[in-house]
Amino acid sequence: MVLNYIWVAFFIIAFGIALVRLLVMGDTEVFPAMMSATFDSSKTAFEISLGLTGVLSLWLGIMKIGEKGGVIAVVAKVLSPVFAKLFPDIPKGHPVTGSIFMNIAANMLGLDNAATPLGLKAMEQLQQLNPKKDSASNPIIMFLVLNTSGLTLIPVSIMVYRAQMGAAQPTDIFIPILLATFFSTLAGIIITSLYQRISLLNRVMLLTLGGMLAVVALIIWGFGQLDKDQMNVVSTSVANILLMTIIVGFIVAGLRKRINVYDTFVEGAKDGFATAVRIIPYLVAILVGIGVFRASGAMDMLIDGIAWGVRVCGGDSDFVAALPTALMKPLSGSGARGMMVDAMSTYGADSFVGRLSCIFQGSTDTTFYILAVYFGSVGIRRTRHAVSCGLLADLAGVIAAIFIAYLFF
C-alpha cells in the first residue's frame, strides 16, 4: 500500500511541476522529456530483467545443488542461534537461514550479480513460511531491511569509478564507506527490531554485534596497511576467490551426497527464467515513476530547497551538492551512480562533494528497487512497515555519511 501511494505521488508531483514550468516559465521541453523518460525507463526495466535471467539461472542452479548437497542445512544450523533471535518466526534450522546468509555475504563483498538471485531464493523460501501470502511477514521485512541498508565491506566498483575519474587516491573513501554502511545496517536492525518487538539485549545478539564491530575494526586495520594498488588487488581477488570457492564447494558437496549435480543444477536454473519474467511489471512500474519524477525537475527543486533551508538555519551547506546521489540511491542504483559520477566530474573526484557522493553511494542500497523486485517475485502487495524501516535505515546511513565525510575530509 505504501508503494502505491509513493508511486502515485511521483506522477502527481511530476505532472504539477511540469505544468507550472510550461505555463509560467514557457518550458516546452518538459513534457516531451517526461514522455521520453517513460519509454526509456520501460526499456531499462526490461533490459535489467533480461540481463538478470542468466545470472538468476546460474545462482539458483548452484543454490539447488547446495540445498540437496546439505551445505545450506549446515549453514542454517551454524547460524540458528543468531537467526533465532533476529528472525524468531523462522523455525530453528530451516534452510532459509542459509540462503539469507549467502545473500548477505554476497552483498558484503559487493557481488551484486550474485546477491540478487540469492536474495530471490531466500524470498521464495520465506514466502513459503508466510501465512498471509499477499502481506509481508516480519522475517521478510527484517531480511529486506538487511538488504536495503546495503552493508558492504569491499566497495570495489566505487573505487574503480574514482580511479577512472582521476582521483589521486581512489581508495581513500574505503574506510568512510565501511563505517557509514555499518551504521546504516545497525540502525536498520534496531529500528526493525523495535517495530517487531524483538529484544536485542541478550547474550547471543550482543556477542554477534560485538563480533561484527571487531571484524570491521580488523578490516580497517588490515587495509590500512596497504597502498591503493594493493588494496584494489586484494579486495577484488578476495571477492572473486570466495565466489568461486562457494561454487566449487557446493558442487563437491553434491558429489559427496551422490546426487546428479548437473540435473540438479538444471532443475534449479529453470526457476531463473520464470523469476526474471515475473519481476518485469514491478520493475517497469517503479522505474517509470522514478524517471518521470527526475525528468520533471522535481529532484532539482528538492535539492535547491534543502540547500536554502540549511543556509537559513546557519549550517554549512557544502554537503548539499552531493545530496542528489543520496536522494537517488533509494530510487535507482544506476541513477545514483550517474549522480555520483556527475558530482566527481563537476566538482572533482578529490573534492569534498566528490568524495561525499561516493560515500553516499556506498552507504545504503536501492530501497525501492529491492522492494519492487523482491516483493514482486513472490506476489506480495502489502508491505507493512518495510518501506518505513528501509528508509529510516537509509536516513541513518546518509546522516552517518555526512558526519564521517566532515571528519575525514
3-class SS letters over 199-266: CCCCHHHHHHHHHHHHHHHHHHHHHHCCCHHHHHHHHHHHHHHHHHHHHHHHHHHHHHCCCCHHHHHH
Phi-psi region of 110 (alpha: psi -120 to 50; beta: other; left: phi over 0): left
- Taking residues 122-134, what's their average pLDDT? 88
What is the average per-residue pLDDT within 86-108?
80
Are 401 and 15 in contact, with CB atoms under 8 Å apart?
no
Q: Are 173 and 158 in contact (CB under 8 A)?
A: yes
Question: What is the rounded distance in angstroms from the CA atom of residue 321 to the CA atom of residue 306?
Answer: 10
Q: Give the three-class secondary structure for 91.
A: coil
Q: How confident is the model at residue 113 (pLDDT cuts 50, 70, 90)?
A: low
Structure confidence at residue 252 (pLDDT): 92
Total-model pTM: 0.71
Inform me whether the pLDDT recorded for 111 exceeds 60. no
The pLDDT confidence band at residue 282, using thresholds 50, 70 and 90, is confident
User: How many angstroms separate the Cα of 372 from the Cα of each of 139, 278, 279, 286, 305?
Assistant: 17, 11, 8, 7, 28
At 364, the pLDDT band (50, 70, 90 cuts) reads confident
Find the range with the poorest average confidence among 259-268, 269-278, 342-351: 269-278
Compute the distance between CA of residue 2 and CA of residue 382 in angstroms, rounded to an integer: 8
From residue 179, how far is each of 198, 216, 297, 402 by CA, in Å? 25, 8, 33, 11
Residue 109 is predicted with a pLDDT of 59
* Whole-number Å distance between alpha carbons of 371 and 6: 12
Distance CA 186, CA 368 (A): 20
pLDDT of residue 35: 92
Closest CA to 408 of 220, 184, 215, 210: 220
Q: Which of 251, 247, 271, 248 is nearest to 261 (CA)?
A: 251
Confidence band for 231, pLDDT divided at 50, 70 and 90 = low
Name, in order, each residue with C-beta under 8 angstroms of 308's C-beta and a sequence gap of 6 or more.
Answer: none
Reported as a pLDDT band with limits 50, 70 and 90, residue 101 is confident
Phi/psi-derived region of residue 205, left when phi > 0, alpha when psi is between -120 and 50, beta in every other case: alpha
pLDDT digits (tens, 9 = 90+) for 1-17: 556 777 788 899 989 99
What's the grid cell of residue 24? 509560467
Stretch 359-370: mean pLDDT = 82
Q: Please state, as a whole number, how many other Cβ atoms lie within 10 Å of the Cβ of residue 212.
A: 14
Other C-beta atoms lying within 10 Å of the C-beta of residue 207? 12
Cell numbers describing residue 405: 565525510
- The band of 154, judged by pLDDT with boundaries at 50, 70 and 90, is low
Q: What is the C-alpha separation between 133 and 130, in angstroms, rounded?
A: 6
41-45, 265-269, 356-360, 383-387: the lowest-pLDDT one: 41-45
Predicted confidence (pLDDT) at residue 125 exceeds the cutoff of 70: yes
Per the DSSP assignment, residues forming a β-bridge with 149 are none
Res. 116 pLDDT band, cuts 50 70 90: confident
Lowest mean per-residue pLDDT among 15-24, 131-140, 166-175, 381-390: 166-175
Looking at residue 157, what is its pLDDT?
65
pLDDT recorded at residue 338 = 65
With a cut of 70, say whether residue 114 has pLDDT above it.
Answer: no
Quick: pLDDT tens for 166-201.
Answer: 887 777 787 788 788 888 888 888 999 999 988 888
**Cβ(75)–Cβ(101) below 8 Å:** yes
Q: Which residue has the higher pLDDT, 368 or 128?
A: 128
Nearest to 332 by CA among 367, 292, 377: 367
> Average pLDDT, stretch 257-265?
90
Amino acid at the residue 230 = Q
**Mean pLDDT, the chain, whole residue set:** 81
In this structure, are residues 119 and 374 in contact, taking their beta carbons and an 8 Å threshold? yes
Closest CA to 17 of 333, 406, 293, 315: 293
Q: Which residue has the higher pLDDT, 129 or 63?
A: 129
The CA R_g of the chain, rounded to the nearest whole Å, is 22
